[in-house]
Structure 1
Amino acid sequence: MASPTSADPARPADPARLVVLVSGSGTNLQALLDAIDADPQGYGARVVAVGADREGIVGLERAERAGVPTFVRKVKDHATRGEWDAALAAATAAHRPDLVVSAGFMKILGKEFLARFGGRIVNTHPALLPSFPGAHGVRDALAYGVKVTGCTVHFVDDGVDTGPIIAQGVVEVTEEDTPEGESALHERIKEVERKLLVEAVGRIARDGHRIEGRKVHLGHVGE
């Protein structure tokens, strides 16, 4: 199968293989599973495994209900962060992914993981990058007083939320959105984020992509 992440724009004959990484409730994972279930042939991808950095989370339960294999690699089970990263990379590689989707995965991926899957790791962030990177994008946007915020789907590089941007969605900030009530804004962002992630992953899987510097080209580029 031609990888959907190569420069070859031809659509792969088989669905792209996705490994999804989660740390919590797995709502983005569920959005992907639902999209695939709604159109198994047309979506262009399938989830072959779900990995996590902790046990007992809803994201793993969602995978198990869907019949998707799971694996857990906890940081505390390894002597160093580098050893954990290598173990996570090996567990992910065992499922031969074409794309890795970081769907609410709350650990920074290290050198070994990036060396194996660089240019093939998709992440979401609840702000319009490059503004407000890091763990508190929603809170930071509100504190700055922006009138619009949103979400970003991007490829992962060795920085924090600095990889090439695939797609962005805009969410209006209302007068009712305050730093004390950031959860309401975050929920509105998540609604847009789920749709954006499903669309972006599907397009990459079906039509391929190419990265030139910071520019991501989706679809049959060059035809």
Structure 2
Amino acid sequence: MTGRKKTGILISGRGSNMQALIRAAQDPHYPAEIAVVISNRPNAQGLDFAKAQGIRTEVIDHKAYGSREDFDRALDSALRRHHVEIIACAGFMRVMTKTLVEAWRDRMINIHPSLLPAYKGLHSHERALADGATRHGATVHFVRHDVDSGPIIAQARVPVLKSDTPETLAQRVLDAEHKIYPKALALVASGALRVEGEEVVATAPGVTLPVVIPVLP
């Protein structure tokens, strides 16, 4: 396949969603090619996995920069140096400046462990359980400056069981994330969708957006 979109993955830790994206991109017919994995933490475990797969890696340690703006400029420079066309955030624990977000508008995606717009921010599993939610899940969306907001591309829904703890629910959601994120990146990279206003619309026949995937326990 020609014309695969060069994708940069941003991580801060083990990068389990990064691993799912890398495995998907090993298929030569997958529309995205992983050009680089960048971490803001030098000891991020995901870097070792990426290197073992022959993927270029970089560390841009946020602690080495005097301001969020300086760090974001360094990150932007690295992404452009690797000719990145799409950014996929995979457990990247940094709040980005509006300047960086706007520079990559509609070309940066993120995955969040809830059915947005519910449970933005941290501790989504604990909050879902506290509310007595019967459904929970994960959302892939285009990044906007407001945290965990932006046009929704895809969601995976999982049941909340009466026996669930935050840990068991988190694992079920994480398994769903690994299924949905490669599908969402493929839609973006293939040009099967576009953003109109703050809505995602399909540009390819047979695509219904947002994609909703039910996942059994």
Cα deviation per residue 1:23-65 (whole Å; 9 max; x = unaligned)? 111111111111122x21x111110000011012211011100
Pairwise CA distance, 1:159:
0.3
Task: Say yes or no: does 1:200 pair with 2:184.
Answer: yes
TM-score by length of 1: 0.87
Partners of 1:68 and 1:176 in 2: CA distance: 40
Distance 1:116 1:212 in 2: 17
Query: Are the counterparts in 1 of residues 68 and 96 from structure 2 also a CA contact under 8 Å?
Result: no
- Residue 56 (structure 2) pairs with residue 56 (structure 1): no
Partner of 1:122 in structure 2? 109
1:190 counterpart (157, 169, 174): 174
Q: Select which of 90, 106, 118 maps to 1:131.
A: 118
For this pair of structures, how many residues does the alignment match?
205
Does structure 2 conserve the Cα–Cα contact (< 8 Å) formed by 1:86 and 1:112? no
The AA in structure 2 aligned to 1:68 is: I
Which runs of 5 or more residues in structure 1 are unaligned?
A: 1-11
In the alignment, the residues of structure 1 paired with residue 16 and residue 86 of structure 2 have an alpha-carbon distance, to the nearest angstrom, of 18
Determine whether 1:25 maps to 2:9. no
The match for 2:140 among 153, 165, 180 is 153
Identity of aligned residues (%): 36
Secondary structure, in 3 states, of the residue corresponding to 2:115? Answer: coil
TM-score, normalised with respect to structure 2: 0.90
Structure 2 contact 24–182 (Cα < 8 Å) conserved: yes
Q: 2 CA distance for matches of 1:87 and 1:20?
A: 15
For 2:161, the equivalent position in structure 1 comes to: 174
Equivalent of residue 75 in structure 1, options 50, 54, 62: 62
Q: Which stretch shifts more, 49-58 or 112-121?
A: 112-121
**Aligned partner of 2:131 among 144, 152, 168:** 144
C-alpha distance in structure 1 between counterparts of 2:99 and 2:38, whole Å? 16
**Alpha-carbon deviation of 1:88?**
1.2
Greater relative contact order, per chain length (Cα 8 Å cut-off, separation 6+): 1
Q: Deviations over 1:95-126 (max 9, x none)?
A: 12111000111111212321321111110000
C-alpha distance in 2, partners of 1:200/1:92? 20
**Residues 89 and 112 in structure 1, CA contact (< 8 A), matched pair in contact too:** no
* Structure 1 runs (4+) greater than 3 angstroms displaced: none
- Which of the numbers 186, 189, 199 marks the counterpart of 1:215? 199
Structure 2 Cα separation of the partners of residues 133 and 148 of structure 1: 15
Question: AA paired with 2:142?
Answer: F
C-alpha RMSD over aligned residues: 1.5
Report SS of the residue matched to 1:43.
coil
Q: Secondary structure of 2:118's match?
A: coil
| Letter of the structure 1 residue corresponding to residue 122 of structure 2 | A
What's the CA shift for 1:85?
1.4
Structure 2: tracts of 5 or more residues without a match: 206-217
